[in-house]
Structures are given as structure tokens and as C-alpha cells.
Structure 1
Amino acid sequence: MFKRLHAPRHVWTHVASLGIRMHARAWFGSPEAFGGLPVVLLHGLGFSSRYMVPLGRRLAEQGYDVIAPDLPGFGRSPRPVGMKWPAGPSVSEQADHVLAWMDACAIQRAVLFGNSLGTQVAVEVATRAPERVERLILSGPTPDPLYRSPGKQYARVLMNMPFEAPCLNAITQLDYASAGIPRIAQQLSRTVDDPIEDILPAIQAPTLVIRGQHDQTLSQPWAETFTRLLPNGQLVVIDKAAHNVHYTAAQVTARLVQCFLQGALDNHRGDEVIVPTLKRDPLAPPKPITTAVHGVLDYATSLLCLGLSQTPGLGSRTRKILAYNGASATLYSLFTNYELGALRKLPMTVHLNLDTMSGVKLLLASLTLLRREPLPGKLTIALLGALELLVVSATQLPMGPARLIRIQGQNLYAET
């Protein structure tokens, strides 16, 4: 009997061919959902299944059985026996690992969801063993031909970070530290020059390609070319999201996956909203601060900082920090794309990352630069830093809508 769980169940599977026990996070829905076939979530470069938790929870809530493995050498799964350190695997090797793990779990056929490098692995599995893949969902597929060198690819990874939710950047650092920089560097060098376009026409499974509007790793032209090469592919763009849409826009992505698996996209011709903007996510932690309220707090805090910077008793360094913080916060608030923004050029995710950096800097300053300043000034700076971090963590970040994009020159969207 299946039991629905919001928190993941930690599953360990002995994979004899690899000589290790692989770890996975699993959620169980109902046996009837999608014919009992599981949805397998494949993580990207240097990550583990940890950042798949938001999507896994929501897909399980919809009734699907979901399992997200830590591929060997990442997360809690050790590297395969005989693979020498730093053990940064190639796409082909990770496809071997996935198939060996599926065999050990007795998963004969599944839906594969891959993010970033995970899309390359999913495509390799689908071309090598098409009978094992029912459908494919490829989120932020790599590598874009414009960035097929380790330097260029890693630069794009860094450029993505301001567009992701601040809490995801913390998970990124944790997973990267766990995997180790040598392993990630070796994996990047072995996977970045992958001519994935050569095997896309051989994909037999219906495929959904997902791109976040602000994805810095996957350009819109390449996303459309990528989809066009698929015999049965559809492209959806999620507004306001970036590379890791399954985490930042988990609720929208889960509903989109449900539409795809239920065949609700099959009769659409593109240029349509499939999933509208969703402001409330019942499975997310409570976030009582709307973007409008956040804007009010931004300007109020900036005015407070500028006003306090004129207080002589706080110390010269304290006053300079307050003045700088107030002026810079006012400037990027004016550029933010929210209700109180004047120019509305800066995505809300970038704004929240700037707020996070500001909050951390204020806390550090209160402990270092202001050691010899009067106590009231140090406490003021520390409280302002803590307040900024608290407001960031409590601010809603609505994503969407998810738009089906028309792909010209593809039979699926041929004019009648």
C-alpha cells in the first residue's frame, strides 16, 4: 500500500554492478497515477537530489511516485568502486549509473526529468534504452553551443546565481562543498563539449523542454533549435524563473509536468499560457510579505538608514555604512520590477539576492569593522542586517505564467 509523504523517504539501493549503495529521496503517491510509472528526477552538475525536494513533494501531492537519486559521487552516494579520485563522471558514465540503478530498483520504465547536466544524462538514457523511457522532461538543457568550454560554461553558471532564489544559492554551496571542487571541475571538462544535437532526432519518447525566462545558460534561440530537433518535442518558457525552474518555480513546474503527462499539451499549437501565475503555494513555507509590501519596507528602511546616518553619537564608520546602505538600497529598489519600482528592469530574484548580500555584509560589519564603534551603532547595524535577511526569507516570489512557445518548421505545429 502506498503512503503519501510530503517529507522524502530516504532509500538506499545496493547496485551490484557499481559496488555501492546509492541514496535516493522518494515520495509515493498512488498506484494509479500515470499507470504506476515513477517519475525519476536527475540532478545537474555538482548537485544532489536535495534541490529536487520542492518538485518531488508537489508531484507526489498530485499522486505520482517520485524518486530522485544521488548519482554516484554526489550527495550521499559514494563513487563507484574502481573509479579513481576525483571521479568526475562523463555523460555516458552517468547514463550507465542511471540504468544500473534502475535495474537494481526494478524500474523497467519511467518518466525521466533532468535538469541542466541531468538533461544530457536523460537524453543519453533515452537514446540508448528507449524502451525504458515513457516520457522526457528536460529543464534547462545543456550545453548551449555558445558556451561549450569549461570557462564559458562556468561563467554562465555564475551569471545564473543572481537570478535564482537566495536559498537555492545556499544549497548550491553546500552540495558543491560536499562533492568537492576537483570532482566538479573534472565532470565539467568531460561533459561540456557534448554534441547533444546529434542524438536528439533519435529520441522516441514525447519530450517537454522547459526554459526559465532569465536562464543565462540556455539561450532562447538554442532552446528553440533544441526543441525543433526533437521528433516529438514541445517548449515551454516560465516567466520570471531562471535555470533551476524546478526549485524556484516548483509549483508551476509541477503543474506543467502534470499537464504534459496527462496529454493536456498535445492539442495546443503554441503561444498559449498553460499554467498561469500562481501566488499561493500551499506546500511552501509561509511567506506573508508580498512584493508590494516588500517595496514599502525597502523604501522605509532606506529612509531610516539615511536618517540615522546623520546621528553623531553612532560613530563615523557606522554613519558611513548607514548612508551607503540607504543610498544603494534606494537605487536598486527604483530599478526593481515590482509594484513600487520606477524603471522595473531588475528581476525580483536579483533584488532579493542583493538584499541578502546587504544583510550579510551588515552583520559582518557589526562584528569586524565596527568593533571600536559605540555599542548603539553596532547594535543598529546588526539589527538592520538581521531584518534584511528576515524580510528576504518571508517575501513571496510568484513565478509564471508558463507559456507554450510556437516552434516554426516542426511538424507538431504545422499550419493546417
Structure 2
Amino acid sequence: MFRTAYAPQSVWTDVPSLGIAMHARVWPGDTTYEVIPVVLVHGLGLSSRSMVPLGRRLAALGYEVLAPDLPGFGSSPAPVDAPWPAGSDVRAQADQLLAWMDARNIRKAVLFGNSLGVQAVVDLAVRFPHRVERLVLAGPPPDPAYRTPLSQYAHVLMNMPFEAPSLNPIMQADYASCGIPRMVQQLRRTVRDPIEQRLPAVQAPALVIRGEHDQALSQAWAEEFTRLLPDGRLVVIEGAAHNVQYTAARVTARLMHAFLQGALTSDAAAAADGVVVPRLADTRDPLAAPKPISTRLHGMLDYATALLCLTLPRALGCSPRTQQVLATNGMMALGYSLFTDYELGAARKIPMPAHLNMDAAGGVQLLLASATVLRGAPAPERLAVAALGLFHLFAAASTQMPMGPARLVPVAAGRRHPPMGTEPGTNEPAPARDFAPA
């Protein structure tokens, strides 16, 4: 059911001013909040694929949602007059987004930007304030502390261990699709963007979202970024990293719903330790693939498999090389399990997403070892190592990753804003909603 519930439509739109047709993933929603659509703008090198989890959940909450592939990324070709590799700067990307909105006849929208997408939507909001209802800015770059292409990309790589394991293949596929030269050129053109100079001119209410483990957005820069906005709110999602729209889609959608309906006020920071979206007790998400393994069960499996890897090969008289491969895997798994932040962890320093990424990496290493360094080992031993590798991959993909709560950080008083599309004082904040299975 999760494969078809609120599945996006693939839509192509001719954009005459760019000379191309742009691709987008579109969710019509249930028309509850369809008057003003929500537009999701991806980050550097990515595409609308990274927006699918958030788009589905916003559609389930009743919003019309559109996620375009900006020119040169995803399925959208580069503009016809753009020289290869056609890496756009911030102003050009904002203009491309606006041209697509014009072609879609979107006169006003809520703009969500992630990473580089934040720079584009902020530029658009400053120059065309009448086209923007509200802004949601997730993981805004570039931090003044590292405004060079090399350091910026290094921080992007540092985020990967803290994202959901299933996001990394999507990122690599998108990077390969757009091409490394285009990514490098766009990174060079956007990394020194003085976004802080434009923030005071943003007229729309803005929600800034930071994942707790975001390596590209420091807490200090997130607070300063929010402080520069005339009407900004900063919320930190615990357990998440840079791509909150994917790894913490359920929490992010509920958070956006509260913001768009005027429920995030400065008063919320004084109540319940600033929690505006609690961690859900029910970890079963009707719009996600089933994940039957709890963190507690995962911990039990970790220690059991590590113990088997350290004892069973020697007891069965396996070849020395097989014993070495399995013992190494067992020691590594035991080590990072003891430091994982779950029920059976001892030190609890490693976030669960990082643990699952290490599990996945260990699974791949075992599969490679069964085909390479163990080539001369008996077939049953090689099959056993490969099976263990597949088990690690299965466990990484099937384990729940609890996200949240989302906490409002009291950065500045800001202005109280009404629900989107209304005049001040005409509506009360909407009640909290969650997703209903289709």
C-alpha cells in the first residue's frame, strides 16, 4: 500500500523563456489547502526524488505539492542557451524556478528549499515578495565559516553517515545523472553567496529547520541565520541531519503543517521544553515501507551476530581467511554497537542512522569479501559470508529510525503570523493532523 498511497504524478511543463520542458513530481492533495500550493526545491546535484517522502506526507495532510527538477538536474534538461556544463548561480536558479512557476500559472506559493534550494527561494522571495506566501528553509547554506568549494563539499560528505541509508543511493544516482562537472561549476558559483545580506529583506514568514546532526549547518549559524530574518522561527529536529525532507519526512510534514496553519508562536517555546512536534509513540508510518525491526531488537541482533562471528568460525574449523574476515566484522560491529544511542548501547554516542549506515557498509564489505578475498575458500564458507552480508543490508533497511521531537529554539521574538492565506486575527491555529492511510 505504501507504494501507491499518494504516489506523485510525473508532469512536464513547457517553459518558453528557458526553451525547455521542465519535469516535476506533483501531488494534487485532497484540496483542503489547495488554494496556495507548496513547492519543494531540491539541493545541489539532487532532484525531486529526494522530495518524494515529504511530498507524499504533505499531500496526505491535504496540500497540493509540486517538486520540480531544476534545469540540468534530475529529468529536466539544461536551458538551450546554457554552455556546458551549465552550472547556474543563485540568481539564475531563482529565475528558472520563477519561470517554471509562471508556466504552471502559480501566482503565489509556499516555497520549501533544502540546502542550495534555500538560496534560490530566498533570492526569489526578496525580489518577488508577492509570489511567496511563506518560506520553509531546511539546512540553509552557506555557513560563513567554510565558504570554499572544497570545505563546503567536505561537509556535505560528512552528512552522509547521518542520513537514512536509503538516501545515499538516491544521492549517488542524482549526482551521476547531472554530472560531476555541472555539480562542481554550480558549487563554485554558489558557495560564496552572501545570503545574510538578503535575509533582512525577506517579507514572508519563514521557518528555519535544522537537523540535530547536520554537519553543513552549525547551530550557531542556524541561530544567526534566523535572527536576520524579520519574521523567522528556528526548529531543530532531533535525530535528523541535513536532508530532513527525506530522513525525517513525517516530522517535517507535521512541523510544516503547524507553521502553515499559524500554530508556531513564540509562546510555544515556553511550553513543554519548546517541543512543537513530539516524537511519535507509534513508529509505524502508513506512508513508508514497513520496518519490522525495532531499535531494541536491532541491538539484540547486533550482539548475537557479533558473538557468532567471533566464536562460530573457529569452532567449525573454517579456513583462517574466513575466520579473519568474520572476526573483523564481529569486532567492528561489537565496537560501534556499544557506542550506539539505542536501548542496548553502553556509551550511546553514535546516532542510530550512523549505526545503520555502518551496518550497510559492513554488509557490502562482506559481499565483496565473499567474491574476492575468499575466492579460494570452500563454497559453504563463502555462501555463509555472503548471507551475513545480505542480513546486514536487510537489517539496515528494515530497522526503525525514530525521529523527533522537533523543538522551537527561542532565537528572536519575531512577529506573530496568521495561518497562510488569511488576514491577521481571522483564524485560529489548525489542530494537529497526521497521515491517514489511503
1:333 matches 2:337: yes
Deviation at 1:312, TM superposition (A): 5.7
The superposition leaves residues 363-394 of structure 1 with CA deviations (integer Å, 9 ceiling, x where unpaired) of: 01101111111112101101100111111111
Displaced runs of 4+ in structure 1, greater than 3 A? Answer: 410-413
Task: For structure 1, list consecutive stretches of 5 or more residues without a partner in the other structure.
Answer: none
> Do 2:353 and 2:401's aligned partners in 1 also have CA atoms closer than 8 Å?
yes
1:392 matches 2:396: yes
In structure 1, C-alpha distance between the alignment counterparts of 2:265 and 2:65, rounded to whole Å:
23
Name the CA shift for 1:350/1:5 in 2 (closer, same or farther; >3 Å): closer
Q: Which residue of 2 aligns with 1:365?
A: 369
Deviation at 1:411, TM superposition (A): 4.5
Classify the secondary structure of the residue corresponding to 2:343: coil
> Do 2:147 and 2:192's aligned partners in 1 also have CA atoms closer than 8 Å?
yes
Residues 18-97 of structure 1 aligned to structure 2 (within 5 Å): 18-33=18-33, 36-97=35-96
TM normalised by structure 2 equals 0.91
- Specify the code of the residue in structure 1 equivalent to 2:96: H
Deviation at 1:268, TM superposition (A): 2.7
> Do 2:268 and 2:276's aligned partners in 1 also have CA atoms closer than 8 Å?
no
> Do 1:311 and 1:319's aligned partners in 2 also have CA atoms closer than 8 Å?
no
The superposition leaves residues 137-170 of structure 1 with CA deviations (integer Å, 9 ceiling, x where unpaired) of: 0000010111110011001001101111111011
Deviation at 1:5, TM superposition (A): 6.0
Q: Which residue of 1 aligns with 2:322?
A: 318
The superposition leaves residues 94-133 of structure 1 with CA deviations (integer Å, 9 ceiling, x where unpaired) of: 0010010000000000000000000000000000100000
Size of the aligned set, in residue pairs, is 408
Q: Which residue of 1 aligns with 2:149?
A: 150
In structure 2, C-alpha distance between the alignment counterparts of 1:105 and 1:122, rounded to whole Å:
17
- Specify the code of the residue in structure 2 equivalent to 1:225: E
Deviation at 1:269, TM superposition (A): 4.7
- Specify the code of the residue in structure 1 equivalent to 2:157: L
Task: For structure 2, list consecutive stretches of 5 or more residues without a partner in the other structure.
Answer: 417-438
- Specify the code of the residue in structure 1 equivalent to 2:277: V
Residues 283-322 of structure 1 aligned to structure 2 (within 5 Å): 283-311=287-315, 313-322=317-326
> Do 2:363 and 2:388's aligned partners in 1 also have CA atoms closer than 8 Å?
yes
Q: Which residue of 2 aligns with 1:403?
A: 407
In structure 2, C-alpha distance between the alignment counterparts of 1:338 and 1:412, rounded to whole Å:
39
TM normalised by structure 1 equals 0.96
- Specify the code of the residue in structure 1 equivalent to 2:276: I
Deviation at 1:311, TM superposition (A): 3.7
> Do 1:162 and 1:349's aligned partners in 2 also have CA atoms closer than 8 Å?
yes
Q: Which residue of 1 aligns with 2:120?
A: 121
Classify the secondary structure of the residue corresponding to 1:138: strand
Classify the secondary structure of the residue corresponding to 1:65: strand
Classify the secondary structure of the residue corresponding to 2:40: strand
RMSD: 1.3
1:236 matches 2:238: no
Name the CA shift for 1:50/1:174 in 2 (closer, same or farther; >3 Å): same
Deviates further, 220-229 or 269-278: 269-278
Deviation at 1:31, TM superposition (A): 3.0
In structure 2, C-alpha distance between the alignment counterparts of 1:150 and 1:306, rounded to whole Å:
43
Q: Which residue of 2 aligns with 1:8?
A: 8
> Do 2:309 and 2:330's aligned partners in 1 also have CA atoms closer than 8 Å?
yes
1:102 matches 2:104: no
Classify the secondary structure of the residue corresponding to 1:209: strand
- Specify the code of the residue in structure 2 equivalent to 1:15: V
Q: Which residue of 1 aligns with 2:382?
A: 378
